[in-house]
Structure 1
Amino acid sequence: MRAMLRGLLALVLCGAYATAHADFSDGEIRIGVLTDLSGVSRGDAGQLSVVAAEVAADRLGGNIDGAPIRIIAMDHGSDADQALKAARELVETHHVDMITDLVRSNTAIPVQRYATEQGVVVMPTGAGASALHGKYCSPLAFHWGFDSYALANAVASAVTRDGGDEWFFVTADYAFGSAIESAARGLVKQAGGEVLGAARYPYKATDLTEPLTAAEDSGAGVIALASGGEDTQRAIRQGYELGLVDDEHRFAALLMFLTDVRDLGLYVARGLQLATPFYWDLDEASRTFAQAVYERAGAMPTMIHAGTYSATLNYLRAARKAGTDDARSVADTLRGMSIEDAFAHNGHVREDGLMVHDFYLMQVKSPLNSTSAWDYYKQVSVIPGDDIHAAPDGSCKR
């Protein structure tokens, strides 16, 4: 009799185990981290994004109801064709449930369009194009990390209200530079500031003396850098050499990462103002996450790394809550969740797929005020997410 009961109990347990796995395809949850491991954005995203996703999986014990979580990383080298090829492999060969990171909009847009058509959830964390939650929105797409308008608004509004009311734009002459300058101009004026002028330079130009001198000659107190990456670093470094890092001027970067400050050094970058949704030393949650990344990779995470952690963590939480990795079920669950973690504070997902969350105006510390490695930022103000994200423009027809 006891043997029969043990046999029945075993059958019940096996049945329960099978039921727990029944709604997870292939018996596991697969996350694709499609990032730049070899190109110009490998520092801002790259290998630390993979590590961040692994930290998120570990946060949930590496499984959901016994179904293992697997992180699959692939390189797009910041090239759109390479990104689309890698996305096809992730979807058609590895059968991933979700794709994240997608640093740079030129890779994120085609991958989002392809993957969502294939029934895969996509959560870009390293691309700012508003088209991701506008023209190319999808019921399965979540613009998770940041968008260009919010960055421009956070910097332009906060710096202007902080007394920086006369602006001059030094702009890299390509689509992103032009778009973010245009957005910031209007926001400066809305906040009561004045734009005294602008100077453009060719993308990746090596000598920025002319536009920086024009900024100085304008008499503007705020020199706004409408650029990113090496262009922004070059402008700040040459501005320092021209004596523009002083009490009369302040540089405002419309897109800048922790890695840019590391590369520049505090002597050159001191006093710079920027906006970010994440800083490793912001609070206990950010420090705990950052320490986990640092222990594995030897560097502190950027806002893209933290966004990838958040996207992965909340996708997995939604899958656990939904009890399935069915894309539409997980997406619907995710849209109803409040988002609060090491990256996002006061977060929620709009109908167009944009994850709205708080940003912070930061100022780069001077070397004298930095007390340890990676101690780069001083918080100036908190900017509520609902105040800086543009309202839906009607282009999302999901």
Structure 2
Amino acid sequence: MKKTAIATLVASCFVATALSAQAQTVSDNEVRIGVLTDLSGIYSAIEGPGALLAAQMAAKDFGGQVLGKKIVITSADTQSKADLSGSKAREMFEKDKVDMIVGNVSTASALAAMEVAEQFKRVSIVTGAASLPITNEKCTPYTVHYVYDTYALSRGTGKAVVDSGKKTWFFVTADYAFGQTLERDTTEVVLANGGKVLGSVKHPINTTDFSSFIAQAQSSKAEVIGLANAGGDTIGSIKQAAELGIMGSKQTVVPLLMFISDVQALGLKTTQGMNFTVGWYWDFNDSNRKFAERFMKEFKGKAPTSVQAGVYSSTMQYLKAIEATKTDNADAVMKQMKSVEINDGLFKGRIRADGKFEHDMYLLEVKKPSESKGPNDVAKVAKVIAAKDATLPLAQSKCKFVTN
């Protein structure tokens, strides 16, 4: 063989080896995942410490390492505040060398963290926040919206209530992006199905006294009082409605975003018969129950919320993408996550071009106290909402990364 041919062959082997080594690169020799969530504020029961546990469970179930590199889970408390979320995200990326953040249970905090993640070209998986703009007008190439959004909530709970014959609505709405978007999306559903909106009232987030807001809704004589809020605000609204004697009256209180933790805080006597929409429910099938049983052993007997299950599932999918691409490079990982069907026993569907994880949703009905077999047995699945019906059609997306 001529010397030039040998030299070319050696050079080719060297380049191939170099490319292979580059392809398997893991930054900082560890895969670091940051759980950025509300650990102590108004939404801590929804995501909070349970989300941290879920991420730790995922890392452990994956074997504690990926591509031979240790998986490290860190956390930070946003208290559902946008400025704190943005600064904590920046600190995670700069100081803690985090490769991916997961969580963010309020829209404002999610949008702030997403912006920072895009600047650093790191993956941001939103599991708790709901607003449609996360994968619509505010989409980024590094964001995944995993569990649910306001479009799904309105097409689930809102449509079910209108279809039951209750046509007139009055909204009690949290005065920030999430509440406003949820009211808007539900209004579209109400009007499209022959209903009418008689009015709405806005309240500050984390309000302690809902009496004036609920009284306005009561005086509207609307058949439905739609609660476009979440967490402690939803709990406070329902408690006030009960105190005013609305429960069991001709008016129906409808929480447009609710979790089993809210039902447990309020009790079945107060919430029985209520419908609410979730992206996952612990008692829906055997796979969900097996995961929930493991979670409950570590979490003082409390069943996981849909958001906490979403943290587990999305963390596993992120790690699988690193394993498949042999790198933690965000662009490669995002491309991989969007190229495969997810079916991990908890969630089934696909991550679209806009970052929305399209999967089935579930309309739940709160059980009567006599139907419940234990503290976590709070609801039953009234309807499975097909993914295509629960997700904004991609053709209608305003995401700049979607080509229609």
Range class of TM-score, shorter chain: 0.7 to 0.9
**What residue in structure 1 maps to residue 99 of structure 2?**
97
**What residue in structure 2 maps to residue 303 of structure 1?**
306
Contact (CA 8 Å) 1:33, 1:100: kept in 2 or not? yes
Amino acid at match of 2:374: S
TM-score of the superposition, structure 1-length normalised? 0.88
Contact (CA 8 Å) 1:166, 1:195: kept in 2 or not? yes
Greater shift after overlay, 124-133 or 324-333? 124-133
Query: Per-residue deviation at 1:330?
Result: 1.0
**What residue in structure 2 maps to residue 242 of structure 1?**
244
**What residue in structure 2 maps to residue 251 of structure 1?**
253
Q: What fraction of aligned residue pairs are identical, expressed as a percent? A: 36
- What are the Cα deviations for residues 347-387 of structure 1, in whole angstroms up to 9, with x where unaligned? 21111111111111111112111111211112111111211
SS of the residue 1:31 aligns to: strand
**What residue in structure 1 maps to residue 329 of structure 2?**
326
In 1, the alpha carbon distance for the partners of 2:139 and 2:217 equals 38
Change over 3 Å in CA distance of 1:264–1:321 after alignment to 2? same
In 1, the alpha carbon distance for the partners of 2:297 and 2:116 equals 35
Out of 294, 297, 315, the position equivalent to 1:312 is 315
Greater shift after overlay, 325-334 or 291-300? 291-300
In 2, the alpha carbon distance for the partners of 1:171 and 1:87 equals 28
Change over 3 Å in CA distance of 1:200–1:96 after alignment to 2? closer
Contact (CA 8 Å) 1:250, 1:271: kept in 2 or not? no
Matches within 5 A, 1:1-398: 22-201=24-203, 203-216=205-218, 218-246=220-248, 248-298=250-300, 299-345=302-348, 347-392=349-394, 393-398=396-401
Unaligned runs of 5+ in 1: 1-14
Change over 3 Å in CA distance of 1:283–1:164 after alignment to 2? farther
Greater shift after overlay, 234-243 or 315-324? 234-243
- What are the Cα deviations for residues 3-53 of structure 1, in whole angstroms up to 9, with x where unaligned? xxxxxxxxxxxx9xx969943233332111111222222221111101101
**What residue in structure 2 maps to residue 7 of structure 1?**
none
In 1, the alpha carbon distance for the partners of 2:320 and 2:244 equals 51
In 1, the alpha carbon distance for the partners of 2:175 and 2:364 equals 26
Query: Per-residue deviation at 1:196?
Result: 4.3
Change over 3 Å in CA distance of 1:176–1:324 after alignment to 2? closer
Contact (CA 8 Å) 1:31, 1:70: kept in 2 or not? yes
In 2, the alpha carbon distance for the partners of 1:339 and 1:256 equals 25
In 2, the alpha carbon distance for the partners of 1:326 and 1:157 equals 41
- What are the Cα deviations for residues 227-269 of structure 1, in whole angstroms up to 9, with x where unaligned? 2222221221122223322274432211112211111111111
SS of the residue 2:105 aligns to: coil
In 1, the alpha carbon distance for the partners of 2:280 and 2:175 equals 28
In 2, the alpha carbon distance for the partners of 1:173 and 1:129 equals 13
Query: Per-residue deviation at 1:204?
Result: 4.8
Change over 3 Å in CA distance of 1:193–1:321 after alignment to 2? same
Contact (CA 8 Å) 1:20, 1:65: kept in 2 or not? no
Query: Per-residue deviation at 1:98?
Result: 1.0
In 2, the alpha carbon distance for the partners of 1:91 and 1:209 equals 43
Contact (CA 8 Å) 2:106, 2:130: kept in 1 or not? yes
In 1, the alpha carbon distance for the partners of 2:204 and 2:99 equals 40
Unaligned runs of 5+ in 2: 1-16
Query: Per-residue deviation at 1:69?
Result: 1.6
SS of the residue 2:327 aligns to: coil
Amino acid at match of 1:157: K
Contact (CA 8 Å) 1:277, 1:343: kept in 2 or not? no
SS of the residue 1:122 aligns to: strand
Contact (CA 8 Å) 1:285, 1:341: kept in 2 or not? no
Contact (CA 8 Å) 1:276, 1:362: kept in 2 or not? yes
**What residue in structure 2 maps to residue 12 of structure 1?**
none
Root-mean-square deviation over aligned CA pairs: 2.4
Query: Per-residue deviation at 1:191?
Result: 2.6
Change over 3 Å in CA distance of 1:284–1:307 after alignment to 2? same
In 1, the alpha carbon distance for the partners of 2:253 and 2:344 equals 30
Change over 3 Å in CA distance of 1:108–1:374 after alignment to 2? same
In 2, the alpha carbon distance for the partners of 1:53 and 1:165 equals 42
In 2, the alpha carbon distance for the partners of 1:351 and 1:259 equals 32
The alignment of Structure 1 onto Structure 2 pairs a total of residues equal to 381
In 2, the alpha carbon distance for the partners of 1:204 and 1:42 equals 12
- What are the Cα deviations for residues 121-147 of structure 1, in whole angstroms up to 9, with x where unaligned? 111111122222123322221112221
In 1, the alpha carbon distance for the partners of 2:136 and 2:283 equals 33
**What residue in structure 2 maps to residue 10 of structure 1?**
none
In 2, the alpha carbon distance for the partners of 1:339 and 1:205 equals 39
